[in-house]
Amino acid sequence: MLRLVNFAHGAFYAIGAYVGLVVAQQWGLVAGLIAAPLAVAFFAVVFDRLILRLFYDKEPTSQILVTFGVAIVVEESLRLIFGGTTRQFPLPDALSGSFNLGFANYPTYRLLLAAGIIALVVIVWLFIERTDYGLIVRAGIRDRTMVQLLGGNVKLASTVIFALGAGLAGLVGAAASPIYSVDPDTGFSFLVPSFVVVVIGGLGSFWGAVLGGIIVGELGSVTTLILPAASDVVIYVAMALVLLVRPQGLLGESEVIKG
Amino acid sequence: MKGDLRFYALTVLGLVLFPFVIHPIGGYAGLATQILIVGIASMGFNLLLGYAGLLSYGQAMFYGLGAYVALLTVSRFFPQHPNFWLAIGLAIAFVTIVAIAIGTLVVRLYGIYFSLLTLAFAQMFYFVVFKWTDLTGGDDGLQGITSPAVPLGFTSIDLTASFPAVDLGPFGNLSDVHYWYAFVALVTLLVVAFFRTLTRSQFGEVLRAIRENEQRSTFVGFDIARYKLAAFAIAGALTGLSGALRGLYETSTAPDALTVETSGNFVIYTVVGGVQTLFGPLLGTGLIMYLQNVISAKTDAWRLIEGVIFVLVIVFLPGGLLGTFAKRRTKPRRIITDALRPAPPTAAPARSEVTR
């Protein structure tokens, strides 16, 4: 899975946010949330077939470079099409209120979003860990040739997983934009913190990423209360500390580091 | 020896002609100065990507910190006796220490992890600079700082002064060129010489060996983490020097110097010009900064064009401009890399092997 984390993910997120925005303004939020992942998955497959394909056999650095280049092109195209200004996503009235949880009031949309994200996490986890397809993908990351020899279609599987990952980034981009506003740099400001999350939680570990997300979120909010000036820096300091004490991350497997 | 003499003579000639040649094609001498300053950082980056195989997306932290430390040295730390050399020296020293500290944490990582981790640390320094308003001026940065003259023992030179006026026709006027250019050109020459010696030394050989086959290099007995850390520190120091020069030249700096965009620019410059080549990073820096200067005056789409150029170069000219078009000569001293290479039948036809 993690081999697919790349600079283009930020771009996928941003495309998702903009597609969601445009569709939602025309046909409503639900339509936006459906259109965004589909559009982004489609874009990802085109990108994969046209450009990324040329880099499968090359060294990882050139793969990173090409995703970086495409991310710039996407970001700048969005800026030229939609302008550099920040946009806000419209929320239907039914969702913009708050919901009484018994102990506290919480904005309805955020609550739904949290529930939706938990559901997504479970679905993705089941897909990767429990289906034959997930097995091919996981095995393909370990030993591509062996899986191919055994008859697994790694090529198709990696395209599917790439599109799936991109679609998810697009969906999250669209779903999160009523909370965070949308601008062309959106993708990037989402990419770096999410990587910090992965490093703290543990490279290559699914539950590590979940744990890292909780830690980063809590650290950020707590520091905002105590020392607001340091709130942006604290997650990076945490990351440095984790790297120093436990380089593979809290729940990570050590083999990722050793290469 | 004769080859060396010719090499340096041509390099000096190129540096002397550069600010005049750029004039008739829409550039100006000040741009030439900026290109050389930024080019020094690109050369440092090339040591990482081209020789150690480390794709750092955090070079902006060294660049920005260099600029801030140099300007703070003259304006804040030693305002009574602002000294040019002290500013540069402190900047390089500070940045080198930071680079060693961060390098220790990151050189063990590979591929995208290394890239994103360097990027994350750069973001950390960006936020520190952005938020520490008392020291750094926050969003406004440091502005209007008087850059001290360069003391040379018996005399001192004001770098902002111009050469005497001599009309050069289409190549502008000699007085367009400030002493700053001469100074920066001299520093560039020293950096080129340093880089050339370094990459031809055993150190450079081992780095290339690591890049081509890390596992074998370990088996042969090289401590690859230390070599990578050394490359990271040297690249950091060069980038810090570049940042310090830029800060003193502009007499100002802003948090922009530490952004992801700045880090990405070093990547773009170096890759477009040609990794693993001596002058590729300088060429790439010059070409892109020149195009930016010309094109961004006419359209908002410059950054998009830059991205497209970058993608086209990676797809069609993986060696960059210089790496693809320059004639490939057999390098005389590749004993270590050759020894490490697998036997010919199994070896992938690497770039330099094909023409040999």
| Span B137-160, pLDDT tens digits | 888 888 888 888 888 878 788 888
Note which residues in 317-346 of chain B have CB less than 8 A from chain A. 318
Q: What is the per-residue pLDDT across B214-264, written as a single tens digit (0 to 9) for each?
A: 777 777 777 888 889 999 999 999 999 999 999 999 988 998 888 888 999
CA angle, residues B326, B327, B330, in degrees to nearest 5: 125
Which pLDDT belongs to residue A253?
65
Which pLDDT belongs to residue B348?
45
pLDDT at B333 over 80: no
- Chain A residues in contact with B304 (beta carbon < 8 A): 72-73, 76-77, 79-80
Q: Which residues pair with B167 in a beta bridge?
A: B173
Contact B108 A257 (CB under 8 A): yes
B101 touches chain A (CB under 8 A): no
Note which residues in 22-41 of chain B have CB less than 8 A from chain A. none
Assessment of whether the complete model's pTM goes beyond 0.95 = no
Mutation target among B46, B106, B115 for the A interface, most CBs of A within 10 A: B115
Q: Where is mean pLDDT largest: A162-176, A245-259, B50-64?
A: B50-64
What residue ranges do the domains of chain B occupy?
Answer: 31-259
- Give the gap in angstroms from C-alpha A109 to the nearest C-alpha of chain B: 30
Average pLDDT over residues B2-24: 87
B351 touches chain A (CB under 8 A): no
pLDDT at A215 over 90: no
Sequence-ordered list of residues with C-beta below 8 angstroms from that of A131, at least 6 positions apart, any chain: none
- Chain A residues in contact with B130 (beta carbon < 8 A): 232
Q: Where is mean pLDDT largest: A214-218, B224-228, B278-282, B299-303?
A: B278-282
A to B CB pairs, distance under 8 Å: 107
- Chain A residues in contact with B310 (beta carbon < 8 A): 68-69, 72
- Considering just the CA atoms, what is the radius of gyration of chain A in Å? 19
| Cβ atoms within 10 Å of A93's Cβ, excluding its own | 6
Considering CB atoms only, which of B105, B113, B123 is closest to A244?
Answer: B105
Which pLDDT belongs to residue B347?
42
| CA A159 to the chain's CA centroid | 17
Look up residue B77 and give its DSSP letter: I
Contact A76 B124 (CB under 8 A): no
Which pLDDT belongs to residue A101?
60
Q: Which of A100-104, A151-155, B291-295 bottoms out in mean pLDDT, i.e. has the lowest?
A: A100-104
- Chain A residues in contact with B117 (beta carbon < 8 A): 195, 199, 243
pLDDT at B9 over 50: yes
DSSP string across B296-313: TTT-TTHHHHHHHHHHHH
